[in-house]
Amino acid sequence: MNKIRVHVEKGSSSSYEIHIGTHILDRMALILASQAWARRYFLLTDERVFALHGGRVLGVLRETGLTVEEIVFPGGEESKSIRTCTELAEQLMERGADRTSALIALGGGVVGDLTAFLASIYMRGIAHIQVPTTILAQVDSSIGGKTAVDLPSAKNLLGTFTQPKAVFIDLAFLETLPPREFTNGLAEIVKYGIIEDPEILEDLQKGEEALRRRDPSFLAGIIARACRIKKAIVESDENDRGLRRILNFGHTVGHAIEAESGFAVSHGEAVAMGMCAAALLSERRGHLSPPDREKVFSAIRRAGLPVRIPASLDPEGILRGLKKDKKKEGEQIRFVLLKKPGLPFVNGGIPLSLVRETIEELRA
């Protein structure tokens, strides 16, 4: 089992560990039992994850003598709301959860964000533990301490910064992940390769076959590297003011595409298209060489992700989405661009007209 320590300034504990491995639930149970973070645990998860893995997780934890009860809710982004949060809080209260209780988030980013948000406000804050079960949650949402629920009109608008007591990344969960969710998560790994560690892109290329088979040891290696990158970035910018912005690479246009498609284009696919747009913009502005731009495109393609924007999406709709985005400064948009793979920078002054041309060029 691989361990990564995350150091944070805020919160009750100054640091916590990310544990990574295959079939690490036994270890997790022992750690929970020995750490005594809580007297009672509440396992929060969505219906699908509960059906696939809930019984096993509860079994292992209870065998170690831990008191654990499950709270299961419907999956999907619709659940990441203040209403679900209130309902879950009511359930906790009815079952007598108090400040000596802790929450365990078992699931993807929706379960993770919602559970962490609830833990941060229930009785002014109780402990929580992240057990991410999608690639996206393992390399992105479970690390960094951002919690959130959505408003009907704005994603992630309500949230807090709260760190978990620990994160347990068990690659065995990925065996049941649907192909589309798997590829979705790869987009974030490719992003880390592009913004920080181009060796990841080479490894993904060399390991194409292992990746297709979801080989646990290959995945463990690549996911651990991705986690280390996210950890290093959030450690240096816990409150999301500077360096952390580079994590937005591909997300400016990506979010606008996701919204314009009515979420028919998945997050990973949209980010892939957004990364292509950012790379092309970087080339157009003379920052990125054409061969490096091609390197970015081929890494995205090889991961099974799209490098073209569907012609069915209205470019003006995408641009309107960009204008609504908080990254806008007048008629200029703030973008994370590239000088080369591994060398991103933030550019505050990209004219909308250039973004329009880039989107047109990428349309299939």
Radius of gyration for the chain, computed over Cα atoms and rounded to the nearest angstrom: 20
> In terms of CB distance, is 247 or 355 closer to ligand NAD?
247
* Buried b / exposed e along 71-94 (16+ C-beta atoms within 10 A): bbbebeeebbbeebbeebeeebee
Tell me if residue 112 falls in helix, strand or coil: helix
- HSE, side-chain direction, 13 A CA sphere, residue 6: 30
When binding is defined by CB under 6 A, the residue of 115, 130, 141, 282 that contacts ligand NAD is 141
Q: Which stretch binds ligand NAD (CB under 6 A): 35-43, 128-136, 285-293, 344-352?
A: 128-136
When binding is defined by CB under 6 A, the residue of 9, 26, 63, 77 that contacts ligand NAD is 77
- Residue in the structure block whose two tokens are 């992630």: 156
Q: Which stretch binds ligand NAD (CB under 6 A): 82-90, 110-118, 333-341, 345-353?
A: 110-118
According to DSSP, the β-strands at 154-161 and 146-151 are antiparallel
Bridge partners, 333 (sequence order):
328, 350
User: If binding is defined by CB under 6 A, does position 177 make contact with ligand NAD?
Assistant: yes
- Dihedral, 74, 138, 27, 124 alpha carbons, nearest 10: -60
**Residues contacting ligand NAD: total by CB under 6 A:** 28
Separation between Cα atoms, residue 355 and residue 56, nearest integer Å: 49
- Residue in the structure block whose two tokens are 């347990």: 168
> In terms of CB distance, is 120 or 134 closer to ligand NAD?
134
Separation between Cα atoms, residue 127 and residue 100, nearest integer Å: 8
φ/ψ of 185, rounded to 5, equals: -70, -30
Q: Which stretch binds ligand NAD (CB under 6 A): 29-37, 65-73, 138-146, 284-292?
A: 138-146
Least Å distance, CB 255 to ligand NAD, is 10
User: If binding is defined by CB under 6 A, does position 335 make contact with ligand NAD?
Assistant: no
When binding is defined by CB under 6 A, the residue of 19, 128, 146, 293 that contacts ligand NAD is 146
Least Å distance, CB 159 to ligand NAD, is 8
Least Å distance, CB 99 to ligand NAD, is 24
Amino acid residing at 363: R
User: If binding is defined by CB under 6 A, does position 46 make contact with ligand NAD?
Assistant: yes
Binding residues among 78-97 for ligand NAD as defined by CB under 6 A: 80
Site residues for ligand NAD per CB under 6 A = 46, 48-49, 52, 75-77, 80, 107-111, 113, 133-134, 136-137, 140-141, 144, 146, 156, 173, 176-177, 181, 184
